[in-house]
């Protein structure tokens, strides 16, 4: 009894993994409902946000709910590291092979039967025994037929399927430029399978889904993940701390959320560290020590930034960091204050910093993407 209590007490309530179950997942009630309703009603959704805001966690959270329904199965594929339609098929095929394998091996033989004409290479992980499949098609036609078969397989199952394709913008980089249109033409007829398309390259994704000339035009519901409201986040943090016997003043929690710009990934990182650095009652000193350590650990990378950027780009991000958010970086006032030269050179520096994902534009202003870098630049003298 005592032992199990100690184990619970020692478990960090702010795990860094993408999704560790509903108790370490804060809020997102409306978003969870929207996604679940869409999936249960056969509607497809485009889920977008800034990087690291919580898309994958939300998908896995929603899938966790759907798992409880016997008539529903979920398939999650992250296609970030895929470079061709064959890579895509291998990921999808592997995810489908692993639906329910713990309960029945039947799925494996049925899927294999479906795919046998495409000669996929099957392997089993030597330690876990988890099966995977690899496609090597001879032609575009063959890869399209394999894909068609995978979808017909899902369509013919006695259960409904929710299929999430994470980092969906990646398909625009495949050499088979017709794949986007092919995919759209196939999925629009499915009755048994609903999709979540997700990603953080918002520019690429909005072009795919909102440009009339593109195959996916107006084919989905939209869900944009914003920050979790600070008061809701603070409540969650205090509850998580309490669950391990720790306490903190609510106003101090609100202050930390401001310092972290309420950005999910950074909040989780910060509290993961604060939790193990602190005692039962968390005070200002613990918070300051956590900030200090987090910035110090990253100093090595951040001090190298001037070597990776032009002097103007570096001055520009320092200016943006000092202001927190800048509506018009090419305005006379901002240029003069931070000695940035001309409006046109600022414009091209902004474009390049967005491409490098060092800054982003949202809600009428430019901000630094990495919250810890923002805080580092605000306080550094360099
Ligand atoms: N609702 C939430 N409550 C608590 N922590 C969360 C929540 N959503 C996300 N996180 C935390 O934020 C981090 C980033 O989340 P996640 O990986 O889901 O974001 P993402 O938008 O998919 O990122 P990427 O753009 O890199 O794919 C994770 O470490 C996760 O623990
Ligand atoms: Mg993700």
From 264, 271, 357, 370, the mutation candidate for ligand 1 (largest count of ligand atoms within 8 A of CB) is 264
pTM for the full model?
Answer: 0.90
User: Same domain for 330 and 291?
Assistant: no
Q: Is residue 94 part of a domain?
A: yes
- Contacts of residue 269, defined as CB under 8 A and 6 or more positions apart, other chains included, come to 16, 294
Q: What is the distance in A from the centroid of ligand 2 to the CA of 206?
A: 17
Ramachandran bin of 166, using left for φ above 0, alpha for ψ from -120 to 50, beta for the remaining angles:
beta
Which ligand is located closest to the Cα atom of residue 57? Answer: 1
Among 224, 243, 278, the domain-final residue is 224
Q: Mean pLDDT, the chain, as a whole number? A: 88
User: Same domain for 220 and 260?
Assistant: no
**Could you tell me which residue, 319 or 95, shows the higher pLDDT?**
319
User: Same domain for 188 and 134?
Assistant: yes
**Could you tell me which residue, 115 or 325, shows the higher pLDDT?**
325
> How far is the CA of 330 from the CAs of 106, 194, 316, 348, in angstroms?
62, 44, 10, 10
Closest CA to 318 of 276, 366, 275: 366
From 57, 197, 234, the mutation candidate for ligand 1 (largest count of ligand atoms within 8 A of CB) is 57
Average pLDDT rounded to a whole number, residues 300-304: 93
* Residues 231-262 pLDDT 10s: 999 999 999 999 999 999 999 999 999 999 99
Asked if 340 contacts 348 with a C-beta cutoff of 8 angstroms, the reply is no
User: Same domain for 327 and 264?
Assistant: no
* Residues 195-215 pLDDT 10s: 999 998 888 888 888 888 888
At 47 the pLDDT is: 96
Asked if 350 contacts 315 with a C-beta cutoff of 8 angstroms, the reply is no
- Contacts of residue 88, defined as CB under 8 A and 6 or more positions apart, other chains included, come to 79, 82, 147, 171, 174, 179
Q: What are the φ/ψ torsions at residue 25 (nearest 5 degrees)? A: -115, 125
- Contacts of residue 15, defined as CB under 8 A and 6 or more positions apart, other chains included, come to 24, 268, 272
At 108 the pLDDT is: 67
User: Same domain for 348 and 288?
Assistant: no
Residue 75 domain boundaries: 28-224
Taking the alpha carbons at both ends of the chain, their separation in whole angstroms is: 54
Among 264, 299, 334, the domain-final residue is 299
Asked if residue 5 has pLDDT above 50, the reply is no
Q: Is residue 22 part of a domain?
A: no
Q: Is residue 321 part of a domain?
A: yes
Please write down the HEC assignment for all residues of the chain.
CHHHHHHHHHCCCCCCCCCCCHHHCCCCHHHHHHHHHHHHCCCCEEEECCCCCCHHHHHHHHHHHHHCCCCEEEEEEECCCCCCHHHHHHHHHHHHHCCCCCCCCHHHHHHHHHHHHHCCEEEECCCCCCEEEECCCCCHHHHHHHHHHHHHHHHCCCCEEEEEEECHHHHHHCCCCCHHHHHHHHHCCCCCEEEEEEECCHHHHHHHHHCCCCCCCCCCEEEECCCCCHHHHHHHHHHHHHCCCCEECHHHHHHHHHHCCCCHHHHHHHHHHHHHHCCCEECHHHHHHHHHHHHHHHHHHHCCHHHHCCHHHHHHHHHHHHHCCECCCCCHHHHHHHCCCCHHHHHHHHHHHHHCCCEEEECCEEEECCHHHHHHHHHCCC
Q: Is residue 21 part of a domain?
A: no
User: Same domain for 192 and 292?
Assistant: no
At 118 the pLDDT is: 67
* Residues 308-346 pLDDT 10s: 999 999 999 999 999 999 999 999 999 999 999 899 999
Q: Is residue 119 part of a domain?
A: yes
| Residue 355 belongs to domain with CATH number | 1.10.10.10
Among 284, 299, 314, the domain-final residue is 299
* Residues 50-70 pLDDT 10s: 999 999 999 999 998 888 777
Relative to the CA of 51, which ligand 1 atom is closest? 25
Q: What is the distance in A from the centroid of ligand 1 to the CA of 335?
A: 35
Res. 178 pLDDT band, cuts 50 70 90: confident
User: Same domain for 203 and 83?
Assistant: yes
Q: What is the distance in A from the centroid of ligand 1 to the CA of 262?
A: 12
Q: Is residue 9 part of a domain?
A: no
Q: How far apart are CA 89 and CA 95, in angstroms?
A: 10
At 2 the pLDDT is: 45
Res. 299 pLDDT band, cuts 50 70 90: very high
**Could you tell me which residue, 99 or 48, shows the higher pLDDT?**
48
Average pLDDT rounded to a whole number, residues 98-106: 60
User: Same domain for 203 and 239?
Assistant: no
Average pLDDT rounded to a whole number, residues 275-293: 94
User: Same domain for 216 and 245?
Assistant: no
CB-based pocket (< 6 A), ligand 1: 16, 18, 25-28, 49, 51-57, 200, 264-265, 268
User: Same domain for 163 and 286?
Assistant: no
Q: Is residue 169 part of a domain?
A: yes
Q: What is the distance in A from the centroid of ligand 1 to the CA of 264?
A: 6
Q: Which residue has the tokens 């990253």?
A: 298
User: Same domain for 289 and 335?
Assistant: no
Q: What is the CA radius of gyration of the chain?
A: 24
Res. 142 pLDDT band, cuts 50 70 90: confident
User: Same domain for 52 and 178?
Assistant: yes
Count structural domains, the chain: 3
Q: What is the distance in A from the centroid of ligand 2 to the CA of 198?
A: 8
């Amino acid at each position: 009894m005592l032992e199990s209590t100690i184990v619970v007490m020692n478990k960090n309530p702010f795990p860094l993994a993408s999704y560790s179950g509903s108790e370490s997942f804060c809020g997102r009630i409306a978003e969870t409902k929207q996604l679940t309703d869409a999936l249960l009603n056969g509607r497809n959704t485009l889920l977008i946000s800034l990087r690291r805001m919580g898309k994958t966690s939300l998908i896995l959270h929603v899938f966790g709910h759907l798992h409880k329904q016997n008539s529903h199965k979920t398939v999650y594929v992250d296609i970030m590291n895929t470079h061709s339609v064959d890579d895509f098929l291998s990921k999808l095929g592997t995810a489908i092979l692993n639906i329910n394998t713990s309960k029945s091996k039947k799925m494996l033989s049925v899927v294999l039967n479906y795919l046998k004409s495409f000669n996929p290479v099957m392997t089993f992980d030597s330690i876990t025994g988890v099966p995977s499949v690899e496609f090597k098609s001879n032609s575009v036609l063959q890869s399209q037929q394999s894909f068609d078969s995978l979808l017909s397989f899902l369509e013919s199952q006695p259960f409904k399927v929710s299929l999430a394709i994470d980092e969906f913008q990646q398909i625009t980089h495949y050499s088979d430029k017709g794949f986007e249109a092919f995919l759209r033409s196939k999925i629009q007829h499915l009755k048994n399978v609903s999709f979540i398309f997700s990603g953080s390259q918002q520019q690429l994704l909005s072009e795919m889904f909102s440009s009339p000339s593109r195959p996916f035009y107006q084919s989905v519901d939209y869900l944009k993940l914003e920050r979790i409201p600070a008061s809701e986040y603070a409540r969650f943090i205090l509850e998580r701390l309490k669950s391990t016997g720790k306490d903190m003043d609510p106003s101090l929690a609100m202050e930390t959320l401001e310092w972290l710009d309420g950005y999910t990934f950074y909040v989780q990182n910060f509290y993961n560290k604060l939790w193990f650095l602190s005692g039962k009652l968390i005070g200002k000193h613990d918070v300051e020590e956590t900030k200090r350590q987090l910035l110090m650990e990253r100093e090595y990378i951040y001090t190298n930034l001037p070597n990776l950027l032009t002097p103007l780009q570096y001055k520009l991000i320092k200016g943006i960091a000092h202001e927190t958010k800048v509506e018009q970086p090419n305005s006379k006032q901002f240029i003069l204050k931070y000695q940035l030269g001309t409006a046109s050179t600022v414009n091209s520096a902004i474009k390049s910093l967005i491409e490098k994902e060092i800054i982003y534009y949202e809600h009428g202003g430019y901000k630094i993407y990495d919250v810890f870098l923002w805080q580092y630049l605000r306080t550094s003298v360099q």
